[in-house]
Amino acid sequence: MTRGWLGVSIQKLTPDLAQSLGGEDTHGALVAGVTPDSPAAKAGLKAGDVITRWDGKAVDEPGTLSTLVAGTAIGKTVALELRRDGKSKDVEITVQKLVDDEMAANDAAPNKSPLGPGPARSETG
């Protein structure tokens, strides 16, 4: 099975986290971390960004992003909309194939999965 990889750890945006980021909107997937040399790093994503749209589709919560990334073809460049410092920003990102080394590293890390966040996991490939 081939999975897409972005190289971000994401988490649910709680009201407290939203407020600490200068807003009140809890829709989206909060970027908790970015893997060096990943598609996300190359696209300029940063911890604290909130991903709100993926390829024209709304991202209401982290699980939505996981599903959308899983349905995206490897090598496809998609438009990603995010909020950073209270402002909307458009970014293009190219989905890469998750390789076994990345999967093994993610499996060893708590709260991370190679594809995306599930109920108890928080890494979007």
Buried b (16+ CB within 10 A) or exposed e, 95-106: bbebeeebbeeb
Would the pTM count as exceeding 0.75? yes
Amino acid type, 56 = G
Tens-place pLDDT, residues 61-105: 999 998 899 889 999 999 999 999 889 999 999 999 887 544 434
CA distance 78 to 100: 24
CA distance 32 to 48: 6
pLDDT of residue 22: 81
> With bands split at pLDDT 50, 70 and 90, how would you rate the model's confidence at 107?
very low
Beta bridge partners of 94: 77
Query: Do 59 and 28 meet the contact criterion of CB atoms below 8 Å apart?
Result: yes
Beta bridge partners of 87: 84
> With bands split at pLDDT 50, 70 and 90, how would you rate the model's confidence at 109?
very low
- 18 Cβ partners below 8 Å, 6+ apart? 24, 25, 26
Task: Please report the domains of the chain, with CATH numbers, ordered by start residue.
Answer: 4-111 (2.30.42.10)
Buried b (16+ CB within 10 A) or exposed e, 16-27: ebbeebeeeebe
